[in-house]
């Protein structure tokens, strides 16, 4: 084979490899698009299931982190659908107020269990004791979570805050699942909803540990589904993007409700409607669109973009802090 022929062969070979790679990239993009379309459209355009949530899963739902934000909105949506509620959160006074509000508005039963998940095993034992006499939990919403007070470099984050993020975001979802899943398995019905975050989609500078903890939630949920779907259990993974909640009050831009930054009530209305219909959802249709386009670039680009966004939100925090200092 001459040098010219060898050059032509290797050029052809490399071109073929390139085409094969492009083909698989194209297939991956199409597959992601179809998954996104399915997750967004199926819950809203297919006929409703003949069974209500109560008939399908049982009459009691347990929601963690339920006195504010997504957790409270989930509690309201489930109460609208006739679910009785076990409310678990840190502050007893807020739990009592939330329980009274839900009982009066939706004529459901409630049970409150004050527990601070930052205490780890102590909180789990408190909840376990509170559930000893029932009721059997049909739906578990693992919503409780903690993120940075504002976007920070790891060395700036207080040590206790890091421990709290790890203990709450990783420990609570794991141990709460363990607490109820055996009963669900024996009854061969039940649903576990694990609320993650769009931060799971790539490494996230300035929200580093928070994002890493949400990757755990994603992988834990997907593996759990494989373990327990054969017992008739629903295991759902929710990936919201930015919401107008207290958790994001470090930036005034995230305190303005819009199509892409909904309030918690709007988000939960859509998210609860996906339960039992799709295994993974962003919960809210506009976030589904964001999720699709955000995942098209390679990870290294997404990481840089995420870092730049957080630098902007970090500036927002310091501007707000400076403005408040001047006003005081």
60-64 β-sheet, strand order = 110-114, 84-89, 60-64, 139-142, 191-195, 234-238, 280-281
Contact by Cβ (8 Å): 250, 313:
yes
* Residue of 210, 228, 284, 317 marked catalytic: 210
Tokens of 312: 């902007």
Q: Is 210 a catalytic residue?
A: yes
> CA geometry: angle at 272 spanning 287 and 117, to 5°?
90
Q: In terms of Cα–Cα distance, which of 171, 87, 98 is closest to 130?
A: 87
List active site positions: 210
């Amino acid at each position: 084979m001459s040098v010219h022929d060898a050059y032509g062969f290797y050029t052809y070979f490399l071109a073929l490899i390139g085409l094969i790679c492009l083909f698989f990239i194209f297939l991956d993009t199409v597959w992601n698009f179809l998954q996104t379309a399915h997750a967004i459209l199926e819950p809203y355009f297919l006929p409703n299931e003949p069974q209500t949530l109560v008939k399908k899963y049982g009459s009691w739902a347990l929601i963690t982190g339920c006195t504010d934000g997504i957790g409270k909105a989930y509690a309201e949506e489930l109460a609208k659908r006739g679910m009785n509620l076990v409310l678990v959160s840190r502050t007893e006074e807020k739990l009592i107020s939330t329980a009274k509000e839900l009982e009066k508005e939706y004529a459901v039963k409630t049970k409150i269990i004050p527990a601070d998940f930052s205490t780890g095993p102590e909180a789990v034992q408190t909840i376990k004791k509170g559930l000893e006499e029932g009721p059997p939990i049909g739906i578990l919403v693992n919503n409780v979570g903690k993120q940075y007070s504002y976007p920070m470099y790891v060395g700036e984050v207080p040590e206790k805050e890091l421990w709290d993020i790890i203990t709450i975001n990783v420990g609570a979802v794991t141990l709460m699942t363990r607490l109820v899943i055996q009963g669900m398995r024996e009854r061969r019905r039940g649903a576990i909803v694990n609320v993650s975050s769009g931060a799971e989609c790539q490494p996230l500078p300035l929200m580093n540990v928070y994002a890493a903890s949400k990757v755990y939630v994603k992988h834990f949920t997907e593996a759990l589904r494989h373990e327990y779907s054969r017992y008739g259990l629903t295991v759902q993974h929710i990936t919201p993007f930015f919401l107008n909640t207290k958790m994001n009050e470090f930036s005034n831009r995230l305190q303005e409700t819009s199509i892409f930054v909904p309030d918690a009530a709007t988000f939960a209305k859509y998210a609860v409607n996906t339960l039992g219909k799709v295994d993974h959802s962003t919960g809210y249709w506009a976030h589904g669109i964001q999720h699709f386009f955000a995942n098209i670039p390679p990870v290294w680009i997404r990481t840089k973009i995420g870092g730049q966004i957080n630098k902007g939100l970090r500036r927002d925090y310091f501007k707000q802090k400076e403005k408040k200092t001047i006003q005081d």
